[in-house]
Structure 1
């Protein structure tokens, strides 16, 4: 456990749900853990006891990626953890593959609606098309990263081959949805869960907070061990997502100090305000590093070893490049960095 984690509290200590089983965290709130085929090897999913139109059952929050082994684990959950009751709806915090991947299957399996923000729903729909799938990966990403200094042929070829990455994990999404908006009070089992919008990590991420239970399903907006990925995508190269993310964190400040945070990765914890402060400090330290380094003009690719000390595989490099550009863009829009295009077509940033 790193020093920052020591400042957080983990009420379940080292307990983890077994495959196909759940752990109850609060009355009517159960934790499921599913594997992921990445370096980040798991996602946390949630079962909430519910009643809709007089029918008892469960709401699922987030879904896992589309893989047969994940479907098999869900089937075990249905047998072991639903108390003989049906699933009544599926809520998805945002449109990334590990969250929405199996939404189509779960909704069809139980004939229930998908609840999600409109922006993330539309984005997911677009990314599952051949046009959208190519726009968020493959050659478009190669061109984006090349302009920011990544010119390693082997890495670019591996990135180019990832043009079907999203569609491979999210083959399709439900044809209909129920829109979640910021401040929406969703009645789940007689308890109000407030939707809290977050920007920067996805187009319109929705966390859920229940004041009665003092429980926050934070999705990917607040994580205990790692920092949330905030990237500038190829289809919005002038975006400033890091500023949006940092501003979004402050939306959680009014929540009680003893809120139990249910993150998508890592263990449930208490210490929300401490973790928010840690994230602000983390990004300020990265800003300081970038400003110091960019006394000499540098590209985002040249910033990578400054921001990321460990060896990165291609999957991790795509996230790291997106984050490096996000930090550079944030400082550029704050007027702390200048940006020029070199003779060989690479953006170089210099401290002002």
Structure 2
């Protein structure tokens, strides 16, 4: 029997404040302009300064919070887990303000440039055409077009140079060694950080305590199986001790990572069963299955983008497993179980 999930902290820090969570580790909580309304960032003691893990979305209130936190402190580097705007967004600004360089995986650095510059099938046009093929109606497609390149709003600039992170690399940060653990499915080369001496895992978005991270199929890789990659990746965390303190990007720090991995497997298995049942009659498109997968209406273009990507991810996963068949007719993609 795995240990239950436990939370050492009852509340999150206020923006602009730092709360110690382990020796040499401080927790920052910054706002986000979405339904998911916050991101956790981490400061690791690094010699006479601190290394940041993730940087926050490019918003003036977050810049102000950073200035408050860094008053009288030196930032040595920004280690970014992956390319999404709430993680990479202020890396260039922090470098300009403090001189702290960017450390990130090559796949994440390149993906960020592709999305910002709208190169090939990383563009809004490619995304909406991909979703149109999967049955999304023109009203919701128009909402995505009007939303524009939301990524660039959160990442207005990317540092010109970076230090490349590799899977299994050991980073010496202050007095401690941190080993990188690559994860797939949520981002190309998501890097979590593990310190055996402290018994701490900075999990980024790969392991969250109360929600499952978004797993989406992208227009650039339409037949991909990101959900399969994600489930395989989180299994790697089970090699870590059960009492590891997990520092997630959203939600509060927690213990009980083995239990959480098991919960995520069960959650996605149950959602797959729901989709199989829904497709047992006539074939259905991903757009038709959004309300089935999420059991609610999706209110805005931002969430529609994630919901469509995740619906396709579950359907592709089932197709790869031989449980679902893809049918392509007249430019429309549907699935039957």
TM-score w.r.t. structure 1 length? 0.92
Which residue does 1:11 correspond to in 2? 8
Q: Deviations over 1:220-262 (max 9, x none)?
A: 0000111010000112111111111000011101111111100
- What's the CA shift for 1:163? 2.8
Q: Answer yes or no: is the 8 Å Cα contact 1:59–1:87 preserved in 2.
A: yes
Mapped to 2, the partners of 1:170 and 1:136 lie a distance apart of 15
Q: Does 1:148 align with 2:148?
A: no
The 5-angstrom pairing of residues 286-305 of structure 1 reads 286-296=271-281, 297-305=283-291
Of residues 289, 294, 309 in structure 2, which corresponds to 1:308? 294
Of residues 38, 41, 47 in structure 1, which corresponds to 2:34? 38
Which residue does 2:194 correspond to in 1? 209
Q: Does 1:49 align with 2:36?
A: no
Of residues 176, 193, 202 in structure 1, which corresponds to 2:161? 176
SS in 1 for 2:147: coil
Q: Answer yes or no: is the 8 Å Cα contact 2:57–2:90 preserved in 1.
A: yes
Which residue does 2:232 correspond to in 1? 247
Of residues 177, 189, 192 in structure 2, which corresponds to 1:192? 177
- What's the CA shift for 1:95? 0.1
SS in 1 for 2:94: helix
Of residues 328, 331, 334 in structure 1, which corresponds to 2:321? 334
SS in 2 for 1:128: helix
Of residues 99, 106, 130 in structure 2, which corresponds to 1:111? 99
Which residue does 1:99 correspond to in 2? 87
Aligned residues: 333
Of residues 6, 15, 22 in structure 1, which corresponds to 2:18? 22
* Aligned CA-pair RMSD: 1.3
Mapped to 1, the partners of 2:188 and 2:291 lie a distance apart of 28
Mapped to 2, the partners of 1:28 and 1:271 lie a distance apart of 22
Q: Answer yes or no: is the 8 Å Cα contact 1:117–1:181 preserved in 2.
A: yes
- What's the CA shift for 1:136? 3.4
Q: Answer yes or no: is the 8 Å Cα contact 2:115–2:123 preserved in 1.
A: no
Q: Does 1:65 align with 2:61?
A: no
Which residue does 1:3 correspond to in 2? none
Mapped to 1, the partners of 2:155 and 2:82 lie a distance apart of 13
Moved more, 158-167 or 134-143: 134-143
- What's the CA shift for 1:135? 4.2
Mapped to 2, the partners of 1:186 and 1:163 lie a distance apart of 37
Which residue does 1:261 correspond to in 2? 246
- What's the CA shift for 1:137? 4.7
- What's the CA shift for 1:329? 0.5
Mapped to 1, the partners of 2:186 and 2:231 lie a distance apart of 10
Mapped to 2, the partners of 1:18 and 1:216 lie a distance apart of 22
In structure 2, stretches of 5+ residues that fail to align are none
**Which structure is higher in RCO with an 8 Å CA cutoff and minimum separation 6?**
2
Q: Answer yes or no: is the 8 Å Cα contact 1:125–1:172 preserved in 2.
A: no
Mapped to 2, the partners of 1:37 and 1:7 lie a distance apart of 32
Q: Deviations over 1:111-134 (max 9, x none)?
A: 1211000100111122222x33x8
Mapped to 2, the partners of 1:225 and 1:15 lie a distance apart of 15
The 5-angstrom pairing of residues 116-127 of structure 1 reads 116-127=104-115
Q: Answer yes or no: is the 8 Å Cα contact 2:58–2:156 preserved in 1.
A: yes
TM-score w.r.t. structure 2 length? 0.96
Moved more, 86-95 or 231-240: 231-240
